Amino acid sequence: MASAPFDLTGKVALVTGGNGGIGKGIALGLARAGASVAVAARNRDKSTAAVAELEAAGAQAISINCDVTDKDEVNAAVAGCVERFGGLDIVVNNSGVNVRKVPQDLSLEEWQTVIDVNLTGVFLMSQAAYPEMVKRGGGKVINIGSMMSIFANETLAPYSASKGGVVQFTKACAAAWAKDNIQVNSILPGWITTDMTETLRVNVPERYRTITERTPAKRWGRPDELAGTAVFLATVASDFVTGTAIPVDGGYSIQS
């Protein structure tokens, strides 16, 4: 192991959905550890603002417009990152969407949209990144799952299915790519305060209170609190860790 196991100096990371919420929190963590960061997302204004924050943190950073459900755009994002920074060492598959409905009320389009972004997008980006990591002699893929990778909720059928699939896809890639010195792991965020979850706090305050009470830490997490786990999984400190799913949830998942 290198003398500075949590140092990412000289490494290149691509973070999907890295312009807000959990993705930006992780991108900033990687940047502060020394990585150059490409933010791949659809909202150009948010991406521009995120790049400014990354640069303020001392990183080289770029934004790349990318819809993770579009194979051509995914391939172009990887190519653009490699062209700018000379290679690709770390991918964080973070992009995600959600639709809250009971299963019988879901349209096929709603189901497919969630599956396409949350699961197929992970497949497309991982597949595109693989040959570039092989060229570098190894790499790190970090897939963002969810508490819904473990639990179920009556209004989150496609989200739960997609995030459960992320964990199983992570294991499959970890087994397939170990020979290439590519470690593939997942992080399972608990209830984190983001734009996506803010609507729950506002619209369903009783559910917000129930979640807070169930969590041993008695609070919701912050996006930056995912950064430490991501940095660990992105560095040589985790070279013998692969195929795992690590909850970062304030203890939510240990409660009965």
pLDDT in tens, 110-150: 999 999 999 999 999 999 999 999 999 999 999 999 999 99
CATH number listed for the domain at residues 12-192+223-247: 3.40.50.720
Nearest-angstrom CA–CA distance, 189 and 232: 15
- Checking if the pLDDT of 3 tops 80, the result is no
Nearest-angstrom CA–CA distance, 7 and 19: 23
Average pLDDT, integer, range 63-86: 98
Q: Is 186 left (phi over 0), alpha (psi -120 to 50) or beta?
A: beta
202 — pLDDT class (breaks 50, 70, 90): confident
- DSSP code at position 226: G
Closest to 144 (Cα-Cα) out of 93, 90, 89, 196: 93
pLDDT for the residue 1:
43
- Checking if the pLDDT of 38 tops 50, the result is yes
Q: Which residues are catalytic?
A: 159
Element (H, E) at 227: helix 227-234
**Annotated domain spans of the chain:** 12-192+223-247
Sole residue written with tokens 């199983």: 168
Q: How far is CA 40 from CA 71, 125, 140, in A?
A: 13, 10, 17
pLDDT for the residue 60:
98
Which residues are registered as beta bridge partners of 101? Answer: 156
Decide the pairing of beta strands 90-93 and 245-248.
Answer: unpaired
Element (H, E) at 38: strand 36-41
- Checking if the pLDDT of 212 tops 80, the result is yes
Amino acid at 84: R
Nearest-angstrom CA–CA distance, 201 and 206: 8
Q: What is the gyration radius of the CA atoms in the chain, in angstroms? A: 17
The crossing angle, in degrees rounded to 10, of helices 21-32 and 44-56 is: 30
Cα 181–187–190 angle (5° rounding)?
Answer: 175
The model's pLDDT over 217-250, given as tens digits with 9 standing for 90+, comes to 999 999 999 999 999 999 999 999 999 999 999 9
Which residues are registered as beta bridge partners of 92? Answer: 15, 142
The secondary structure of 136-180 as a DSSP string is TT-EEEEEE--GGGT---TTBHHHHHHHHHHHHHHHHHHHHHGGG
The model's pLDDT over 99-115, given as tens digits with 9 standing for 90+, comes to 999 999 999 999 999 99
Mean pLDDT of the chain: 95
90 — pLDDT class (breaks 50, 70, 90): very high
Q: pLDDT higher for 19 or 3?
A: 19
pLDDT for the residue 2:
47
Q: How far is CA 181 from CA 35, 42, 140, in A?
A: 19, 31, 9
Percent of the chain whose pLDDT exceeds 90: 91
pLDDT for the residue 200:
77
